[in-house]
Structure 1
Amino acid sequence: MNYYIQQITAKETHTVRHPILRPGKPIDSCDFEGDYLETTIHFGLFLDSKLAGVVTFMKNNHELLHFKNQYQLRGMAILKKFQGRGLGNHLIIHGEEFLKTQNMEILWCNAREIAVNFYERNGFKIIGEAFTIPEIGLHYVMYKLFEPR
């Protein structure tokens, strides 16, 4: 499998976010709060030069997590025809390596119920109770701690 990962723009994430995370909704629903902040970074995974997966990392604190340097993983998606190949793992590892250079202490996300096992396999743990995001579904806050450099 020939792939590479590189930084992309917020708008470039839409071609993957839309069919996977916001099907049937307007394309502008793929613009997430914080997408255009200077401290937010987007990565794309390309298979044979075609964008197949995306992930966003945003400097953002969660009230349940008491760490100074927190990042939130958001908008992670792999196009359906490329799912099940471990590509999401590569995106997370790439992002974590980058964020370690930013002295990240903890990475967290609002994981959809169907993605909990994926995040657990990548070292994340659930904190708090399940909650519902209207029109999207049941979620869990999940986190992963990092050793200081």
Structure 2
Amino acid sequence: MEMKIRKITCVATLDIRQRVLWPDKPKEYCEVEGDESALHYGIYLEEVLVGVASVYEDAGAVRLRKFAVEAEHQGMGLGAALIRHVIHYVQCAGATVFWCDARESARAFYERFGLSIEGERFYKANVSYYRMSMNFQPD
């Protein structure tokens, strides 16, 4: 199967964000402040969008938000390919820190790519999260 990663629009991310992350909420709930200026990536399998990730830059720190892969395509390495792509972009862009609020259920996934937990578990909308990050050395 052919896999491609492309930059996409914020609007293109919303259906997958809603289905995977917040299926009991309206699509508007999945929009976040800064979407219009963020970079959005999609992973395509046979020309069908099956995963999304959005990155938000702020003074050398880059935040990953709304990272999601369709349930039927999880466990196939697509999310791993997408996160590797994003981390490569972040490093090439000269970021000093890459971070996210990771659902507790995804903690081990992010640890595989070098992110570490910062602080205590916290909750958003009754879902448990950890702040996770990785630092990059300037060239």
- Name the counterpart of 2:35: 35
Deviation at residue 82 of structure 1 after TM alignment: 0.2
3-state DSSP class of the match of 2:114?
A: coil
3-state DSSP class of the match of 1:148?
A: coil
Specify which of 18, 32, 45 is matched with residue 43 of structure 2.
45
- Name the counterpart of 2:23: 23
Deviation at residue 147 of structure 1 after TM alignment: 2.4
Query: What does 1:118-129 align with in structure 2 at a 5 Å threshold?
Result: 118-129=109-120
Specify which of 129, 141, 145 is matched with residue 131 of structure 2.
141
Task: Report the TM-score when normalising by structure 1.
Answer: 0.89
> Could you list the runs of 5+ residues in structure 2 that have no partner in the other structure?
none
Query: For structure 1, which segment, 17-26 or 95-104, has the greater mean C-alpha deviation from structure 2 after superposition?
Result: 95-104
Structure 1 consecutive aligned stretches of length 4 or more whose deviation exceeds 4 Å: none
Calculate the aligned-residue CA RMSD, in Å: 1.2
Task: Report the TM-score when normalising by structure 2.
Answer: 0.95
Q: Distance in 1 between matches of 2:92 and 2:137?
A: 12
- Name the counterpart of 2:63: 72
User: Aligned pair count?
Assistant: 139
> Could you list the runs of 5+ residues in structure 1 that have no partner in the other structure?
61-67
Deviation at residue 100 of structure 1 after TM alignment: 2.2
Percent identity, aligned pairs only, is 36
Q: Deviations over 1:79-108 (max 9, x none)?
A: 001000111111111112222232111100
- Name the counterpart of 2:108: 117
Deviation at residue 2 of structure 1 after TM alignment: 1.3
Q: Distance in 1 between matches of 2:31 and 2:134?
A: 25
